[in-house]
A and B are shown apart, each in its own frame.
Chain A
Amino acid sequence: MNQQRKTLAKRGLGAVHALGLLAVFSLLAVEPESAWAAKIGDVAEETSLGQQALRFFSFRDPSVRYAVIGSVLLGISCGLLGCFIVVRKMALVGDTLSHAVLPGVAVGFLFSGVSASGLFDWSFDVANITKNPALIFCGAVVAGVAGTFLVNTLKQTTKIKEDSALGLTLASFFAVGICLLTMIQDLPTGNKSGIDKFMFGQAAAIDEDDIRLMLAVTLLIVAVVFVFYKELLVTSFDAGFARSIALPSEWIHHGLMLLVAFAVVIALQAVGVVLVSAMLITPAATAYLLTDRMHRMLLLAVGFGVGSGVLGAFISFLKPNIPTGPCMVLGASALFAVAFFGGPRHGVLTRWWRHVSRSKRVQRENTLKALFQVLERRDAEPEDSVSLKELAERRRETPDEVSGQASALKQHGFVTLHEEGKKILFTPSGWQLACTIVRNHRLWELYLTNAANIAADHVHDDAEKIEHLLGDDVVRELERMLDDTTRDPHGRAIPGFADIHKPFTPAAARPSGYGRNL
């Protein structure tokens, strides 16, 4: 039910994004020249990728320098705050906040045209309009706070639940923002360059003033997270407990939201309104997949944020007509995909590979066990050979299948093959492993019948699985608990230490027909 509602809300968000795209394309259509101007790539004349990379990473051009510094700063601030957003389950809040700032950006832009010569003597001149980072920052933060306030009011005064309140706020604020931006584009005069970059972001549009603001905000965020780390941690994990030790959970929450609004606003220029929430969520979510300690998650998220930010700026340097925001988000998503598939613990591919190698190992161990049992039934010595046919009968498989298994064992050095693979001989290590598996199996059966009082004919299937999983510790524990470990519940001998470490006469040193009872 709840899930369904969330899906619907997400679909709503998707529709808003589509709307935004349309609006942006119409914006671009109005003034194509200014839209393509001031890309980082404008400074790139070199043709080869290597030359361009050298030029980009040598930071020769100020615009490249600003773009890279800006990407690093936004990676740090978004990565840090994104972690708290992810563990507090507030990803949708971040998305809403990032869209809600748009009208503030437009108003901040317009405000630069206002000049005050007295308290009530204000005048507005279109010609004065310019991109003033401080004004845009203030406008955006006010709009973001207003959006958060609206969500809380809707939640508290009506029966509308949080997800709907978020979706509603996001859409309405975004719509207002797009209308205002379109109006600004249609103004007769004034320097409007840069305003169109707020939608999808353009790292090249970052200038020195922007960098100063970004640096100040990033330092503030780093300082707050460092100083109030334990308060942020405990309020995120257990808000009730945090309040019981008199931490003002609510104020910490509001403070965090304000910082998120700051981070969103400084990231706008480079990433754009539409995708900025991805830079909050994706690096943090990637880090969340890879670690289960909060401080490591923070560091990883910063790393991923910076990495994808710089990568995005670089790609948009190479391909000037691609906006920076999508490039950064693609970089972040690619990192997420790598973590999702290849993460060392929870990655899909890693888990699949672990499963495959485990089942291969189980099969090897089962074949070794079958070899052991063939010899045991014949009452033969470990040095004696087993024919492929005997093994196939024991395993109830075709000779072809068994021959494949035998060569796998040979590869691992557990057996040697003779007479064109028809005869199989244990190596010492193969014999030891086979004895261990059989011992595990029979000890477990003995344990189940003796200690757990399970009937002797019920224990075999369970032991078939457990035999491959028992570690040395558990085996030792079993040995301690069981008094007599010589025979299993079916009366067969349990291979002991002496069997496992039996002196081995290499097959080659013996004449054929070597008497086994010597």
Chain B
Amino acid sequence: MTDSPATNGEDIPLEIHDLTAGYHKKPVLWGIDLKVPKGKLVGVVGPNGAGKSTLIKAIMGLVPPSSGWVKIFGKTYNENRRRVGYVPQRESVDWDFPVTVMDVVMMGRYGHVGWFKRPKKADRDIARDCLDKVKMLPFAKRQISNLSGGQQQRVFLARALAQESDIYFMDEPFAGVDAATETAIISLLHELREKGKTLLVVHHDLPTARNYFDQLLLLNMRVVAYGETEKVFTYELLQKTYGGRLTILSEVADAVGQRAK
């Protein structure tokens, strides 16, 4: 550890300190501390309601934190937002929306294009490459409602790739996709990691989590454990993560939520 002040945390893709966040002032996450090193594929694992999606949303400021801070490469999220890519849950959008596959992937370029400007040919080329990487180029002109679940997920992935980011947050990219898509996604994630990207992936399936990720973040309203997969994937720690909700913590959270109303 050579944490000299000169680097100013710029080489740490994600650092979270004492983050508490939730909905309608009712906390879902308590005092999260996390420091993710560069080039790691991190799986976020935990039971339903553990706050996995909330963690990602809180990092990106989609859920307002009630305390603590988040730093992306040593700066605030907004300062470094162009270095962040995001894959939301597939169900979060209306797939009848009148756009094509290409239109959606182009949205990944919007953060780089900026206000008052139109995407250029270079942006379109990048979007096309990204579609090709997820093998969806033949579908570029299709309206998105004609896609299968796996294809929809690939489109979201291509959009995140088009963001050309250094750190990616992905919310359940493996949910409801076919086996071929799952394999394609995981090899893509490995490819991104080889390029030095950092990836935080919410995952719901424990058995595959062990094989897919370098590191695991076991989450249940607070960080139960974080570290290399082989060290963290133990019976005791998993038991601790999944062994029922933390009764007192959730009761207090309910009480806080009640008072806020």
Contacts and interface: CB of A to CB of B under 8 A. Distances in A.
Interface residues of A, number: 25
A297 B78 contact: no
B110 A230 contact: yes
A291 B60 CA distance: 34
A471 B113 CA distance: 43
Interface stretch (B10-18, B93-101, B182-190, B217-225): B93-101
19 contacts: A87-B94, A227-B116, A230-B107, A230-B113, A230-B118, A233-B99, A237-B93, A237-B94, A238-B88, A238-B107, A241-B88, A243-B60, A244-B62, A244-B88, A246-B111, A288-B98, A292-B145, A293-B100, A296-B98
Given A236-B97, A238-B92, A244-B86, 17 more contacts: A87-B97, A228-B115, A230-B110, A230-B113, A233-B99, A234-B107, A237-B93, A237-B94, A237-B97, A237-B99, A240-B57, A240-B62, A244-B88, A288-B98, A292-B99, A292-B143, A293-B103
B92 A240 contact: yes
Nearest to B24: A156
B98 A87 contact: yes
Interface string A212-247: 000000000000000110110110111011011111
A167 B100 CA distance: 35
Residue from A87, A230, A245 having most chain B Cβ neighbours under 10 A: A245
A80 B169 CA distance: 34
A493 to B, nearest CB: 36
Nearest to B93: A238
A230 B119 CA distance: 9
Most buried by A among B84, B99, B145: B99
B61 A243 contact: yes
A318 to B, nearest CB: 36
B34 interface: no
A296 B93 CA distance: 21
Contacts of B110: 230-231, 234, 245, 247
A23 interface: no
A288 B78 CA distance: 35
B175 interface: no
Interface residues of B, number: 30
A294 interface: yes
Contacts of B88: 238, 240-241, 244
A241 to B, nearest CB: 6
Contacts of A231: 110, 115
Pairs of residues from A and B, 3 with the lowest C-beta to C-beta distance, nearest first:
A245-B111, A292-B143, A244-B86
B124 interface: no
Nearest to A89: B94
A293 B99 CA distance: 5
A246 B78 contact: yes
Interface string B75-90: 0001001001010100
B104 interface: yes
A81 B88 CA distance: 27
A227 B119 CA distance: 12
Interface in B103-155: 103-104, 107, 110-111, 113, 115-116, 118-119, 143, 145
Contacts of A291: 98
A237 B104 contact: yes
A291 B100 CA distance: 11
Contacts of B104: 237
Contacts of A297: 98
B103 to A, nearest CB: 7
Contacts of A238: 88, 92-93, 107
A268 to B, nearest CB: 29
B38 to A, nearest CB: 21
Interface string A473-514: 000000000000000000000000000000000000000000
A243 B78 CA distance: 10
Interface string B153-167: 000000100010000
A294 B103 contact: yes
B169 to A, nearest CB: 8
A296 B100 CA distance: 12
A294 B62 contact: no
A244 B60 contact: yes
Contacts of B119: 230
